[in-house]
Amino acid sequence: MKFQVFKNGKSCSDFVISAAYMFGADTIPLHATEGIRFAEGHIECKRKSHDAAGLALLWPINGMGRLLLPTTRLPERERPYILNIELARAKLMQITLKQEDWSLFEEDNELSRLAREARLLFISSLEHISNPGKASQLADQCLSKALEYSERLAVQQGEAAFTTRCKAKGLGRHSLGCRVDPKMLDEERYGKWLFDMFGFVTMPINWARIEPERGQYDFTELDRCIEKLCTRRVAICGGPVLQFSKEYLPSWLLHGKQEFERIRETAYGFVSKIIGRYGKYVHAWRVISGMNAVNYFGFSFEQAIEMTRTAILASRAADAKSRKLVEILYPWGEYYAQDRNTIPPLVYADMVIQSGISFDAYGLEMHFGKDLPGMHLRDMMQISSRLDCFAQVAKPVHITGIAVPDVAEKDEYGTDRAGFWHKEWDGEIQGLWIDQFYRIALGKPFIQSVTYSSLADSDDMDLPNSGLLNRQLEPKKAFLALARFQKAILRK
**pLDDT tens series, the chain, 492 aa:** 999 999 999 999 889 999 999 999 999 999 766 789 999 999 999 888 788 999 999 999 999 999 999 999 999 999 999 999 999 999 999 999 999 999 887 666 888 889 999 999 999 999 999 999 999 999 999 999 999 999 999 999 999 999 999 999 999 989 999 999 999 999 999 999 999 999 999 999 999 999 999 999 999 999 999 999 998 889 999 999 999 999 999 999 998 778 999 999 999 999 999 999 999 999 999 999 999 999 999 999 999 999 999 999 999 999 999 999 999 999 999 999 988 889 999 999 999 999 999 999 999 999 999 999 999 999 999 999 999 999 999 899 999 999 999 998 777 667 678 999 999 999 999 999 999 999 999 999 999 999 999 999 998 888 999 999 999 999 999 999 999 999 999 875
Which of 231, 162, 165, 159 shows the shortest CA–CA distance to 194?
A: 231
Backbone angles phi, psi at 2, to 5 degrees: -125, 150
Please give the pLDDT value at position 360. Answer: 97
The pTM score is 0.95
What b/e string do you get for 451-479 counting C-beta neighbours within 10 Å, with b at 16 or more?
A: bbbbbbbeeebbbbbbbbbeeebeebbbb
**Interstrand relation of 200-203 and 10-11 (parallel, antiparallel or unpaired):** unpaired
The conformation of residue 202, written as its DSSP 8-state character, comes to: E
CA 409-247-222 angle, 5° bins: 105
Largest Cα–Cα separation, the chain = 71
C-alpha of 458 from chain center: 21
Please give the pLDDT value at position 31. Answer: 79
Please give the pLDDT value at position 412. Answer: 66
Helix (H, G, I), strand (E, B) or coil at 178: strand
Do residues 335 and 374 lie in contact, with contact meaning Cβ atoms separated by under 8 Å? Answer: yes
Do residues 455 and 183 lie in contact, with contact meaning Cβ atoms separated by under 8 Å? Answer: no
Residues forming CATH 3.20.20.80 domain(s) in the chain: 169-490
CA 167-171-176 angle, 5° bins: 135
Cα gap 464→370, rounded to integer Å: 9
Do residues 453 and 405 lie in contact, with contact meaning Cβ atoms separated by under 8 Å? Answer: no
Cα gap 132→304, rounded to integer Å: 48
Top-level class of domain 169-490: alpha beta
Task: Write the CB contacts of 323 (distance below 8 Å, at least 6 apart in sequence).
Answer: 283, 284, 285, 360, 361
